Structure 1
Amino acid sequence: MNTAVAAERYEIGDWQFWPDANELRAGQERRRLEHRAARTLELLCRRRGQIVSQGEIVREVWSGRTVSPNSVPVVISDLRQALGDDAREPLHIETLAKRGYRLLASPKPVETAPRPARRWLYGMLATLALIVLIGVGVARPWRTPPTPLVLPAVRNETGSPRYQPLAEATDALLMTRAQAFGGVEVFRQPPPRHADRAVTLDARLVVWNGRPAVTLAAERPGGAVFWVAMTRGGEAVIPGDVVRAMGDLGRRLENAPAPADRRP
């Protein structure tokens, strides 16, 4: 009896890593990885929380060829940038001096296709879900429209171009978290059709007390600010502070009074 084997992908924080495609994916966002970076990340995923030495990475990724001493650190740096990670306070990839590297959050392999033996169960669940949706549609034909959330790119107002990569990484993190909100539709530009009820999230990278920080302000149509947040100073704490702040904003948006339903 033949059993189909599902392809693997790995969950790393908010990202899904697809080794066959050399890509990181989060919602609609795609980040293409260079081949050696993808193979290195795949090795770290397979070893799940174990220390992988630089020599092992060279043997696996470069097939044991002689490479520059900086080759592996450069690839690790590229992976950290793609994941929005920080070497000084890592969320994903940890450097252990003179020992190697380790993926902190043990990635879980995820099935991308159901095995044949389970297809009947997934089919039954899909049918039940359809029945429930039809019932909801009969009971409430006009659904509450999602809140439009406008998220312009993070502005680097530090006055230093060296912080631009940090601004771009923060922007990607904000977009990923916003796309996970319930009842919210995310835009880069104000949607003309829903401009009268769109919420705008203004994000800026600034220098505060000599260290970079991110300020966030959510505005309703007309410019009324109803929510603000600011990270503590320092690059290392920005990702964690942004995740916590966006969690608070998401709860506020989900629990806010819904606008009156309108027919198209």
Structure 2
Amino acid sequence: MRAETAFQMGPWRVDPGLNQIIGPEGGVELEPQVMDLLVYLAEANGEVRSRDEIASALWPAASVNDDALSRTVWKLRQVLGDDAKSPRYVQTVSRRGYRLLETIEPVNDAPQTPLRKVGAPVFLAAAVVVMISLVGISVLSRSGAAPRLEPSIQSNDETLALLDRADGFYAQYTRADNEAALRLYERVLAQDPDSAAALAGQANALTQRVIRWGLDGEANRTTLTQALQSGEMQTQRAQAALLRADALAEEATELDPGHARAWRALGLVRAAQSDFDAARRAYDRALVIDPENWGAMINLSELEALTGHPERQAELLARSFEAMSRDYADNPVAIRPWHSAVGLSVARLRADAGEAQQAELWYRRVLALDPLNAEAVTGLAAVLRASGDVAGADALCRELEAAGGGRCAR
């Protein structure tokens, strides 16, 4: 479908034949699908093209869902350093589609510029660091919070600082901190009503208020499963609160379809509303956008348990553990409190399934990272005793107690 003629788009020289664009800082090679999207929008001369029209043009012989298109738009914005909230190049037209804002002009042949491959975000219009706080609906009391780049979310320094502070409060998962986070997210939205990050954060905090503490603040729950079993989630007040959170999360996904945290927030509130199919779709989309999003994996793992698929729960937790391991060097403060807990959850699930060798492996993996973890020592000791290695189990317990790590359950 692609025209091969090079054209100028603002500061960018676009060469479809070579899958490259060249800007002031050098050249970037685009994925073919991303270049096809750019050319298709350029040929529309500023007119809106619907998502269905774009999908038919880019994938004429295949049936694709919205995830593929959202991801392709996100990649194009990432390379251009574009901002979904105040775009210069690619505008999202609510409920209609996308259009290209920049004027297109033909260019003469020009010398080629050495390329830089697209990997981490390049040519960003401004430095962007947004702290993502993960929702705690798994077997853990918290799923953790990891600072990540959201290339399509950009704002001024004051807004970023407020977002960072709000996310920090939210990640503590106490009632007072959650309420403080809500107030800080409201301050961000007063400055920037279209902040997808703040909308998603507010949706998360409102949903957590219902799940963990209840609207009267008297509950003390740590998982969505407990909240659903309490029956409180079905009350009229709870449903009204969740409906508000749902609207906030959905608005965040419409403002920035490439924002993984927004989709994760939508997944949480849909799960709290017992709409498990919609929750799963939202979490899946978050993982399409960010395959390393260990928070979405943890949340999805509880959803699988709720819907009768514990085998998938163990697999998702194992994947989240591996993703956290890869992310640990960049986010040790966020990951350290939860890394061991996820590994322990996998070990317990393997033990419950009668997979003694796998359980032993996971207990040892936890101990390799957290040598005095009493739960891991106790679990491993139990596995060793069951296999006949009583001496090995006793040695583990003595080592734990000698180091002041607590008593080993026997």
Q: Which has a greater percent of helix?
A: 2
Higher Cα radius of gyration: 2
TM-score scaled to structure 1, two decimals? 0.43
Task: Determine which structure has the larger strand proportion and give its number.
Answer: 1
TM-score normalised over the length of structure 2? 0.29
